């Protein structure tokens, strides 16, 4: 398997120089994959009928290549001689879904009957059976007890299928080395230290009607479909039963989305931790600079004070010497040698050079 790189500008020139089928054959990728790659890299494609107009000499408009955030090369994996062409993915998320589906260590097949029951699934089944004896199922009423159970909200006839589905999901999550936890009464899948809230419920359709007076009203009609939700209400992703694809077949995609979300938050938390560490270091450096400046200012103030005290001490020393010279004269000043001694002690304590 060889890896081929092509720039965004080169791919733009290719898709505008020959039909998409020929470009796909040249790059050895499928037509729809090439279109998806062009969309993800914001490469405009010719409109339908573009090549027919050129063939008959009619004028066509060529759209300019817009700016794009990613400036790196686009990679293609080209099979070598004797190799079969493997799948080509438009992004890493689709590749991860494919890897999970084909991981033989993970069992995504939902059994027809539960044989190996996870303790959490078993406890949930018992609690819900006890709860429904005294409560009627509706869209607006669900189990509100104190016991932590799986977030399954269905009527009794859909519950066995819901339990089988979520039992398989738990098995896959734990096989991958992760777990389910409960916080604040809500169930989360925990991967890489990050939590994603999950719910499994019976799908209700909203029907809007008007009464005889023209006032609008809405009712909720239950269906036989299951709906899986991940994430809180403000950032929610949903999967449900479709006409040809049951919810069970979406399990690899569900796990891939949960894993992608947890990886995103894990990476974000790590970056935030690094930023906090950098800010803490900057704070410590700033505190050290402030301490050094304060210490320097304190030393300078002390120097000024010492200089002033030294100047005062010298002035007082001259004055005391002059007083001492008057002791033997008859000036009647009343100065005694005890006073002179006291004054010299005070000057000594004031002078910073003789302390």
Residue spans of the domains in the chain: they are 2-88, 119-272, 297-350
User: Residue 332 gets which letter from DSSP?
Assistant: -
Is residue 161 within 8 A of residue 226, CB to CB? The reply is yes
Whole-number Å distance between alpha carbons of 331 and 337: 15
Alpha-carbon dihedral of residues 159, 161, 166, 168, nearest 10 degrees? 150
The tokens describing 60, both together, are 């066509």
Residues of the chain short of pLDDT 70, as ranges, are 1-3, 71, 76-86, 88, 134-146, 328-333
pLDDT for position 69:
73
Alpha-carbon dihedral of residues 151, 157, 158, 164, nearest 10 degrees? 80
Q: Which residues of 219-228 are buried (b: 16+ CB within 10 A; e: fewer)?
A: eeeeeebbbb
Whole-number Å distance between alpha carbons of 178 and 166: 15
Q: Which residues contact 26 (CB under 8 A, 6 or more apart)?
A: 14
- How many Cα atoms sit within 13 Å of 12 on the Cβ side? 16
Q: Which residue has the tokens 């009957």?
A: 113
The tokens describing 40, both together, are 């993800």
Interval 193-220: pLDDT, tens: 999 999 999 998 888 888 777 788 888 8
β partners of residue 153: 201
Whole-number Å distance between alpha carbons of 176 and 103: 11
Q: How much is the pTM?
A: 0.64
The tokens describing 89, both together, are 């993915």
**Phi and psi based region of residue 75 (left: phi greater than 0; alpha: psi -120 to 50; beta: remaining):** beta
Interval 288-345: pLDDT, tens: 999 999 999 999 999 999 999 999 999 999 999 988 888 766 555 677 889 999 999 9
Helical H segments across the chain, by residue range? 8-15, 20-27, 31-40, 50-55, 92-101, 119-132, 159-175, 251-324, 337-350
pLDDT for position 108:
94
User: Residue 244 gets which letter from DSSP?
Assistant: S
pLDDT for position 192:
95
pLDDT for position 4:
72
pLDDT for position 212:
79
Question: How many Cβ atoms are within 10 Å of 38's Cβ, its own excluded?
Answer: 21
pLDDT for position 215:
82
């Amino acid at each position: 398997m060889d890896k081929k790189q092509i720039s965004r500008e080169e791919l733009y020139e290719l898709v505008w120089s020959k039909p998409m089928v020929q470009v796909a054959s040249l790059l050895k990728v499928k037509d729809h994959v090439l279109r998806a790659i062009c969309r993800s890299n914001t490469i405009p494609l010719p409109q339908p009928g573009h090549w027919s107009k050129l063939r008959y000499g009619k004028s066509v408009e060529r759209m300019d290549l817009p700016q794009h955030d990613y400036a790196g090369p686009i990679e293609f994996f080209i099979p070598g001689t004797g190799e079969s062409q493997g799948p080509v993915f438009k992004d890493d998320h689709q590749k991860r879904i494919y890897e999970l589906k084909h991981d033989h260590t993970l069992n995504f097949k939902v059994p027809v009957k539960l044989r190996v029951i996870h303790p959490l699934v078993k406890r949930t089944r018992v609690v819900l059976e006890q709860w429904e004896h005294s409560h009627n199922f509706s869209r607006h009423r669900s189990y509100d007890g104190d016991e932590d159970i799986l977030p399954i909200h269905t009527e009794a006839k859909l519950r066995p299928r819901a339990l089988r589905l979520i039992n398989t999901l738990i098995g896959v999550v734990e096989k991958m080395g992760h777990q389910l936890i409960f916080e604040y009464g809500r169930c989360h899948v925990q991967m890489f230290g990050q939590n994603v809230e999950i719910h499994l419920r019976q799908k209700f359709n909203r029907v809007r009607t008007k009464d005889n007076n023209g006032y609008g009203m809405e009712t909720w009609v239950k269906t036989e479909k299951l709906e899986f939700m991940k994430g809180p209400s403000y950032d929610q992703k949903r999967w449900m039963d479709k006409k040809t694809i049951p919810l069970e077949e979406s399990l690899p995609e569900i796990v891939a989305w949960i894993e992608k979300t947890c990886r995103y938050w894990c990476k974000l938390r790590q970056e935030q931790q690094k930023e906090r560490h950098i800010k803490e270091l900057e704070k410590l450096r700033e505190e050290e600079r402030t301490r050094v400046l304060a210490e320097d200012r304190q030393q300078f103030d002390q120097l000024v004070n010492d200089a002033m005290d030294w100047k005062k001490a010298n002035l007082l020393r001259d004055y005391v010497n002059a007083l001492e010279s008057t002791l033997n004269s008859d000036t009647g000043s009343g100065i005694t040698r005890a006073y002179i001694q006291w004054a010299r002690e005070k000057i000594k304590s004031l002078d910073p050079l003789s302390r």
